Amino acid sequence: MHLIRPRTSVVLSVPLSSLGRLASIWLSLAGIYCIRVVHKQEYVDQLRRETNEPVLLSSSADFSQQLHSLCRQHNVTAAMEMAGGVVGDTVFSALLSD
Residue 22 belongs to domain with CATH number: 3.40.50.720
The answer to whether residue 2 sits within a structural domain is no
The pLDDT-based confidence of 93 (bands split at 50, 70, 90) is: confident
Q: What confidence tens digit (pLDDT) does each residue in 33-71 have?
A: 899 998 889 989 888 888 889 999 989 999 989 999 998
Residues with Cβ < 8 Å from 13, sequence gap 6 or more?
A: 20, 36, 37, 58, 79, 80, 81, 82, 83, 87, 88, 91
Instruction: Establish if 22 belongs to a structural domain.
Output: yes
Confidence of residue 78 (pLDDT cuts 50, 70, 90): confident
pTM of model > 0.85: no
Report yes or no on 4 lying in a domain: no
Do the domain assignments include residue 71? yes
Q: Is residue 34 part of a domain?
A: yes
Question: What's the domain count of the chain?
Answer: 1
